[in-house]
């Protein structure tokens, strides 16, 4: 999971779009398609690493954004 979090962080820093898309082939390495509560687990992963799950569609991708800093 740390490897995926590092990849997302790199892409967020390097990209101009402000988000990072992780496609299904990569998601399945950590969360198999038939895993119970898959979206909940991906959302928790995002929170644990300081991201926000902005979009998720099974069999397509998950889009992560940097979690806004609390003020």
- What DSSP string runs through 5-22? HHHHHHHHHH-SSS-EEE
> Per the domain annotation, does 71 fall within a domain?
no
pLDDT per position as a tens digit, 22-33: 999 999 999 999
C-alpha pair distances (Å), 49 with each of 34, 44, 46, 59: 24, 9, 5, 23
| Structural domain range at position 17 | 2-66
What single-letter DSSP state applies at residue 31? S
Which stretches of the chain score pLDDT less than 70?
69-71
pTM (whole model) above 0.85: yes
How many independent structural domains does the chain possess?
A: 1
């Amino acid at each position: 999971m740390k490897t995926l979090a590092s990849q997302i962080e790199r892409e967020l820093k390097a990209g101009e779009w402000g988000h990072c898309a992780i496609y299904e082939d990569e998601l399945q390495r950590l969360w198999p398609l038939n895993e119970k509560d898959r979206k909940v687990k991906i959302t928790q992963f995002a929170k644990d690493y300081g991201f926000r799950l902005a979009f998720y569609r099974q069999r397509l991708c998950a889009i992560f954004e940097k979690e806004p800093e609390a003020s």
